[in-house]
Structure formats: structure tokens, C-alpha cells
Amino acid sequence: MALSTEPTASIFFLRGVEVPPATRSEPTAPEAPPPPSPAVRKPPRSAGQRALPWLVVAVFAYFGARAGIRFWQERQFQLPAGIVSGNGRLEADEIDLATKFAARIAELYVNEGDVVRAGQAVARMDTRDLEAQRQTAEAQVREARRAVDEAQASVAQQGTLVNLATAELERYRQLRAKDFVSEEDLDQRQQTYDGAVAALAAATARSGEAQHALDAARHVVQLYQVNIADDSLRAPRGGRIQYRIANVGEVLAAGGKVFTMLDATSVYMDIYLPTAQAGQIQIGDEARILLDAYPGRPIPAFVSFLASEAQFTPKAVETKSERDKLMFRVKVRIAPEVLQGHEGAVRTGLPGMSYIRVDSTAAWPAFLQPTRRSPPAL
């Protein structure tokens, strides 16, 4: 019997496991690739994220430009030998306008920022009590003047009596010499003369006392006039009112501050220099002040103070190295003739540089040469 070559479709069971029938080996189709996963979309960048690279570039460009400018300035403003420099801030002496006596503020004539002249009235205190006391003193002056008049009249009267007693005494002496009067009559005339002279001396003394009392009363009136004048606060120097501390109607004790002003005649800059440079400086050395706000306007100045002892440099002052910790304070003051007529231009706190010529033969560089233009707003 011929065997069939076709596979038989039979199922064999082996221990309960289903086994597929044997099949012919046929080519199988390739498996399809898995479907592509959907693309992940990135969220759009914000405006700040887009601008961040440009901001970084701008920062680097800014600091690079500053470094370049500083390098150019150092090359441009290179100091010759014989000139030293230091940085600081412009300052001016402060003057407190305060009351001499305890009083109430009656009027204020200026305010903060106003420019005042020397001798200008800035405030007036209530002086009604002083006015009343002055009137009392003036009445005492009038009374003392009448006492002086009376004393002088008494002196004149006693002087007349002395003259009369002198004449009678001389006549009686002549009569006594001729024995026309007795010795007793002559003694009486002598006593009359002595009494008149003593009375004249007493009247003269009373007149002197009355004159002294009159002078004392006049001095009291002058004292009240001075006190009343002192209660009118006046600026001792020309300058600018910096602060107003009290207001109208406030009662201040003696020495109470009303205003603080800047003395426009005393403007300076404190700088700090190391020993090697400070040791070359002398009081009166010529200097220049160059403010950062006005780089092309050097201001003539001179050295007015040099510390005798070194001190730690303030943090506000830049030093060239960390080893320059002990420095000498040098005060560079603007020449008064430069400030004359520019009281209203004085401003403090402006940073800048001070240049000091320690060698009189050294020439000022071009950027420190004085100009004909008026001084800047200080």
C-alpha cells in the first residue's frame, strides 16, 4: 500500500498537552515594524530665555568696555614724576546756627537748599521778654541820669560855698593882721572854709557814684540790646543751608540748633597716601582737585593739613594694594579766591581725585592745567 506524502492532520495528546501537527516548511513573511511613536514636541521658549544669551553678551561687553576705558584713562592720565594722587570726596565745614538763650522760634527766613550771605538773617526768636527787660533798664538809665544831674548841681553849689568861704577867710586874715578882728572870728571863718571844702568833696563823690550808676544802667541796656540782636540768627559765613532742624513755634533750650549750613569758604578733600608719598608732602604744596562729574575742570587747591600719625584707611577709599593699610590723611583745600563769588555752587559728597605736586620743578600734565572757565558746581 502506498504511503501518502501529505501530512496527516492528526492531533497527538501527550500528557494533556496539545501538540500542533507537523507542517511543511514554508517561507514566512517578515514581521512588520512597530508603528513609530509620536514625536515629542518641545515647549516654545519664553522671551526671557531667548534674551538670556544676548544679556550675557551685553554684560561681558559692558565690563570689557569699562576695562578698556580704564586702561585708556590710565594711559591718558599718566602722572609724571613729582606728582602724587589719591581719591576722596569733596567736603565743606559745617556750621550750626543755634540759639544763645532758651526761646521760642518766631520766624524763619530761609529753608533747606537756600544760599545765604555772610551776615544775612536766617531766623528770629521771640524776644518780647527781653524787650520788656530792656525797657526797664532804659527807665533805670533815665533815673540814674537825673541822679547825676542832681549830684552835679550839688557839686556846683558846694563849689560856690567854698569860694565864698575862701574869700571870707582871706579877708579875715588881712583884718586880723591889722588887729581889726579877733582870733576867734578868724577861727570861725577857717572852720566855715573847712566845712565847705568837705561838703564839696562829698558832693563830688556822690556825683561820681551817680555817674557810675548811670554807666552801669547804660551797660545793662546794651546787654539787652546785644541779647536781642543775638536772638536774630545770622549766617557767619556765606554758604548753603544744609538742614533745617527746628520749625516756627518750637521752644529751644540754650544752644538749640535751628539750621546747619555749609561754609562755602572752607571746601576740601581728604585723601590717604602711603608713607613713601606722604613723606614728600609739605604744608602749602600746590594741588589740583579733579571731580568725576567734571573731568575737564581742574580746581586749584593746596595742602592745608598732614596727619602726624598713620591710621587705617577707610573702606570708602580705594588703595592700590592690600598691603597699603596704614595711610596718612592729607587735607587738600580749595583756594579761597577760587571759591569767592561761587558760594551757591558748593556741593559736598562729589567723588574725585586730588593731585599734589611734591616737586616744584615738575610740570602739571595737560589734563590738570587750569582753565579759564568758572569752577564747576562743587
Segment 69-107, tens digit of pLDDT: 555 555 545 778 889 999 999 999 999 999 999 999 999
Report yes or no: 267 and 90 within 8 Å, Cβ to Cβ.
yes
Q: What is the pLDDT of residue 31?
A: 55
Average the pLDDT over 273-280 and give the result: 88
Q: Which of 167, 362, 338 is nearest to 266 (CA)?
A: 338
* List of E strands, the chain: 12-14, 17-19, 83-98, 103-108, 115-116, 121-125, 232-234, 239-244, 251-252, 257-273, 286-291, 299-306, 311-312, 326-334, 351-357
If one looks up domain 78-93+264-368 in CATH, what number appears? 2.40.30.170
Report yes or no: 84 and 269 within 8 Å, Cβ to Cβ.
no
pLDDT at 328 over 70: yes
Q: What is the pLDDT of residue 35?
A: 56
Report yes or no: 250 and 107 within 8 Å, Cβ to Cβ.
no
Helix (H) or strand (E) holding 160: helix 128-177
pLDDT at 29 over 80: no
Higher-pLDDT residue of 369, 243: 243
* Topology, domain 96-127+232-252: OB fold (Dihydrolipoamide Acetyltransferase, E2P) (2.40.50)
pLDDT at 17 over 60: no
Q: What is the pLDDT of residue 1?
A: 39
pLDDT at 23 over 50: no
Q: What is the pLDDT of residue 336?
A: 82
CA-to-CA distance for 319 and 313, rounded, in angstroms?
8
Average the pLDDT over 305-321 and give the result: 69
Percent of the chain with pLDDT over 90: 46
**What is the tens place of the pLDDT at every residue in 226-269?**
999 999 999 999 889 999 999 999 999 999 999 999 998 889 99
DSSP collapsed to 3 states, 209-251? HHHHHHHHHHHHHHHHHHHHHHCEEECCCCEEEEEECCCCCCE
CA-to-CA distance for 153 and 375, rounded, in angstroms?
69
Higher-pLDDT residue of 358, 70: 358
**What is the tens place of the pLDDT at every residue in 100-149?**
999 999 999 999 989 999 999 999 999 999 999 999 999 999 999 999 99
Give the pLDDT band of residue 21 (cuts 50, 70, 90). Answer: very low
Q: What is the pLDDT of residue 120?
A: 94
Would you give the distance in Å from CA 193 to the centre of its chain?
A: 75
Q: Where are the domains of the chain?
A: 78-93+264-368, 96-127+232-252, 128-230
Q: What is the pLDDT of residue 46?
A: 59
